[in-house]
Amino acid sequence: MRKDYDFSGAKRGPVVKSPGKKRITIMLDDDVIEAFRKKAEAKGTGYQTAINQALRDALFAEAPLTADTLRTILRQELHEV
């Protein structure tokens, strides 16, 4: 049966693309990821969605997003867990 398949033109990656999204690599602390996983599980969503929403909220907040502001937001998110 293996001879029936031709993968010479195949490409790696998701079968269905996610429009409006881009895959990146980012290094986050273990405790941050775990906190977002717990928060997301409680809400019934994915942790990447929770991180994306936290970044979106910070980005579109009236105050400019600075390193101090981001730290404050992350501390608040971690404190809620």
In a domain, 65, yes or no: yes
Q: Helix and strand tally (H, E) in the chain? A: 3, 0
Q: Residue 5 has what pLDDT?
A: 86
pLDDT band (50, 70, 90) for residue 47: very high
In a domain, 10, yes or no: no
**Number of domains within the chain:** 1
Task: Identify the CA nearest to 72 among candidates 53, 58, 59.
Answer: 58
In a domain, 12, yes or no: no
For residue 39 the two structure tokens come to 């928060």
pTM greater than 0.95: no
pLDDT band (50, 70, 90) for residue 54: very high
Q: Is the pLDDT of residue 40 over 70?
A: yes
Domain span including residue 79: 28-81
